[in-house]
Amino acid sequence: MAHHKSALKRIRQTEKRNERNRALRARLRTEIKKFQSFLEENKDPNQLKEACTGIQKTLDKAATKGIIHRKNAARKKSRLMKAVNKQTATLQAAE
């Protein structure tokens, strides 16, 4: 157990930050899952593009705040865009 006042403060700050980061990471994961289910269900390419910009913004914000690494965010965005483009191509081919 810490004995110095500054060390006790550090412990309090770390606990707060861990809670905040855990909540933000959980929200990010939930939004990614929602986007993936939206991608499977949706049949409108315009709605897919709009939803895609929203998830990209969320990933960028998480990377900026240090919740995930910037390259992790880039990888996730790339994979999601690849899925969106594939879905859009199949929808356009079906028309």
Summarised one tens digit per residue, pLDDT across range 59-72 is 999 999 999 999 99
Which pLDDT value is given to residue 75? 97
In the chain, the number of structural domains is 1
The parent domain of residue 63 ranges over 5-94
Q: Which one, of 27, 14, 17, lies nearest residue 61 by Cα?
A: 27
Which CATH number fits the domain that encloses residue 10? 1.20.58.110
For position 45, what pLDDT does the model report? 80
